[in-house]
Structure formats: C-alpha cells, structure tokens
Amino acid sequence: MIKNKISLSKINRSFLKNKITIKEIQNFLKTRGFSIKKNKRKINHHNLNSFSKTFLVSLIVISLFTVSPILITFTKQKMIYSKDYENNSKNNLTKVLENQDSKLDSDLNEKYLFDDIIEFDELPSDTVRLSAMTIQELFESTNYNLEDIRKNKLVKPISLTLLPNEITKIENSQKRKELFIQIILPLIIKENNYIKSDRIKLFSILNKSKNTKLEKKWLASKFKQYGVVNNDLSTLKIRMDEVPISMTIAQAAKETGWGTSRFAQEGNALFGQWTWSGKGLRPKGADSDSTHKVMKFRVLQASVKAYQRNLNTHSSYKAFRSARAELRDEGKKLDSLILSNYLDKYAETGKEYVKILQKIIKQNDLTDFDDAKLLPSSIALESLI
C-alpha cells in the first residue's frame, strides 16, 4: 500500500522530457513504500516495460482527476465573457425568465428600477410649451414630414419636451395623428439608440477575457437599472433590448388618444403607467380605496424611458421579452405585429387591447418607421426649438 500521496510533478517532468527509466520507476516506488523484490531469474524487460507504461497511464488519469475541478472552475469563470452570449438567448431563456422574473417584484421596488429615470426627469430643462401652430411651422421650416421619413427613413432630431395644448382642438384626425407621431418619433428612436449603444457595449465586455474597473462598475449600474438579481448576464442581455418603434407609437396613441388625454396634457404620461409611490395623477372616477396613480413626468422623454424600462423589467412582460429574444436568435427583425401579441397584460381588456394595438399599427402604416434612423443633432436645428 502507498504510504504517502504520489507527487505528480516529479514523474510528469520526467515523462514530458521522455527520460524516464525503469530504474527511476523502481526508485520512485521504493521511496513511496513499495517493496521491490529482486528475482534471480532474468528480468523480462517486455513485462517491465508494460508495467511502466501502465503505471504512467495511471498517473495521467490521476492527474486528470486532480486538475479537472480546477479547469471546470476556470471555464465557468471564463464563460461570462464568451462570444456564445451573443446568440444563446433561446437556450437559457426559460430558466432565466423563471428564476429572474419571479424574484423581481418581491425583491425590487419601483424607485429601485426607475431612480435613474427620476433623476433624469429632475434635471433642469426649458419646459416651454409651444403651440401646435408654432410646432407645425418648425416642422415645415426644417422639412420634417412623415412622407419623407417613410421613403428615406431619416428623422430630424427635434426633441420637444411637452405636447401642445391645441392638439386636442385639431378636428382633422389625420393631421392630429401626424403631428403626434412627428413629436414622439424622435424621442422613441433616441431611447432605442441608447439601448442599442448599451447592448453593443455589453457584448464587447462579455467577449473580453478581462474587464477594467470602469467596465465592472458600468455592469453593476446596468444590473441595477434592469432589475437583474444575482448579476445574471444572460438575463441582462435579454432585458437590455429595443422596443419596436411602431408598437411604441401605437401604445402611446392608444393610451393618450393621440395626445389628447388629461394624463398626456397634464403629466406628459404617454403610456398610462401606474405608480403606487411616485409622482402621479389620480384617475377620475377611481374607487375610493384605490391607491394607484398614473405616473407623471416633467418631460416627454422621461415617459418614453419609463415605458421601455417597464417592458424590459416587469414580470408581466416576460413573454414579450422571450418572444423578442427568439426573434434575435433567429436573425429576424423585431416585428411589432408579432411582439404586440404578448402585451395582453398591459390593460385589463387583455386580448382585445392587443387587437386594438395591431389595428392602429396596420391602419396607420406604422411599421414604415421601424427602420427609421435619427439624424445627427445640429446646433442650427436645436436653436429653433
């Protein structure tokens, strides 16, 4: 029986240098407690060579069992940076969604998810409410019109902070719709661009073997923003993604009556999101024991931010995120007519709400804007706002 543990380093060095001899094996065994009996008969070198080979194979096997746990641990650590993360959403989707989304509502509160949006909304801004006529003149002077966007897919970077009060008085429904789309379209694309930029940065970090302190700090901030518990990178990648432009416009149109609702006019609330702790407007006719309000914002941009964060984090929309991830894995574009099917929990009317959204998208040809790009901002253009 071996009295001590076999030292692999000495044998491995000799083995790798191809210098191990029978005598070395004998000496090694003696130092480890083996009793080597000399036989007066002529030594059968063939048998001894076979024994030495068997012994070496055994050592290699022992080495593998010894090193394997270390390799497995290293591999697991390395996996978080693997390029496989770019295309493995579907494989881990069910497990990730079940584990993460079940924890979200209980572990995280509203402010935790929206504090960066609240901070953005509290920044100083010139919230001057322009009249509908002034806005239309601005659009005409800069040649900003929907017909041109449908053809060229280019949007002027005109960011308005408030809806005009007069939009409620525009009797021509087509003109009212066009003005509403012109106002919110740059805001929607701008937010999608932020997410797209973050997503590119995320993949860049995942594909590195080692990350800087700044990159780790950035990751920590994104885990917080997207409500990801346990720093799960797969979940972050699934949540950090764009929302189709056409679907966003349709929901804003439905929730505000194309910009005419009290919530849109008084609170810049484009998507009718509820709140139990933040600033908000109390719905008229609400039950006396009802505590919810409709989220209120100082600027329209904050409303778009909050809407995207809501779809990307709340457990009610995990089916939406699952379908979106599958489209990504299949190399398909984010189709609003497909993804809107998973918004039945957005309103109490459920499937009927989905049908209305899809009707708005089709009747107004909103998918024409899904590929639209925001032109670079210009000082001359911004000075007009």
- Span 181-207, pLDDT tens digits: 999 999 999 999 999 999 999 999 999
Q: pTM of the entire structure?
A: 0.69
Instruction: Give the domain ranges of the chain.
Output: 8-78, 83-382
Burial letters 324-333, b for 16+ CB under 10 A, else e: bbebbeeeee
pLDDT at position 117: 72
In terms of phi and psi (left: phi > 0; alpha: psi -120 to 50; beta: otherwise), the region of 285 is left
Task: Kindly indicate the confidence band of residue 272, based on its pLDDT and cuts at 50, 70 and 90.
Answer: confident
* Per-residue pLDDT at 1 exceeds 60: no
Q: Hey, what amino acid is at 242?
A: E
Residue 189 neighbours by CB under 8 Å, 6+ apart: 155, 245, 372, 373, 374
Instruction: Write 209-214 long-range contacts (CB < 8 A, 24+).
Output: 209/78, 209/81, 211/81
Output the pLDDT for position 28: 55
Q: In degrees rounded to 5, what are phi and psi of residue 294?
A: -95, 130
Helix (H, G, I), strand (E, B), or coil: what is residue 227?
coil
Q: pLDDT class for 280, splitting at 50, 70, 90?
A: low
Per CATH, the number for 83-382 is 1.10.530.10
pLDDT digits 0-9 by tens, 64-110? 444 444 444 434 333 333 333 333 333 333 343 444 454 444 344 45
Lowest mean pLDDT among 119-123, 176-180, 367-371: 119-123
Alpha-carbon distance of 45 to 28, in angstroms, equals 18
